[in-house]
Structures are given as structure tokens and as C-alpha cells.
Structure 1
């Protein structure tokens, strides 16, 4: 498995990505003409990858 420091860093990255996703969703509400969906998809795919790493 991973050492405690690595797990802490992964948790921090996950929290940051979740905040980014929330922020982009808020920006879509404010600026519907702008397209942030690709950034949301990218952050979501990184979160899925991290979750896969943690489950191994």
C-alpha cells in the first residue's frame, strides 16, 4: 500500500479537484456561454484514476 504521506497528498489532491469541479459548475451558471465541461471531465477522470490507485 502507500505510506501515510502519500495518502495525505492524495487526499489533498482529491479535495482540490472536487473544489475545482464545484468552481467550474458555478462558473457555468454565471457564464453559460463559456464551455468548462472539458475541464470538469478532465478533473473527474483524474479523480477516478486516484480512486483506482487507492483501491489497489
Structure 2
């Protein structure tokens, strides 16, 4: 579980630099892991935008 959190956080850091390409790739990729990662990235981005307001 902890490993998944570390990988997800590392990927969310990468997503910051390349949001659109990563998001499109994750949403069109049918694998469950990429879908979970893209959902996690969307949630973290949503939390960040809410906290900035």
C-alpha cells in the first residue's frame, strides 16, 4: 500500500510538468493502474486548486 502511495505521488510530481500528455495517455489506456493514477492526479490537482483559493 505504501509503495503505491509513493509511486502515485512520484507520478503526480511528473504530471505537474507534463499534465495534458500524461492525462490523455492515462485516460485512453485501458489498464486499471493508469486509470487509478490519472484519478489520483485529478484529485490532487483539484485539492491544490481549491487550497489556492
Q: Give TM-score scaled by structure 1 length.
A: 0.47
Larger radius of gyration: 1
The structure with more helix, counted as a fraction of residues? 2
TM-score normalized by structure 2? 0.49
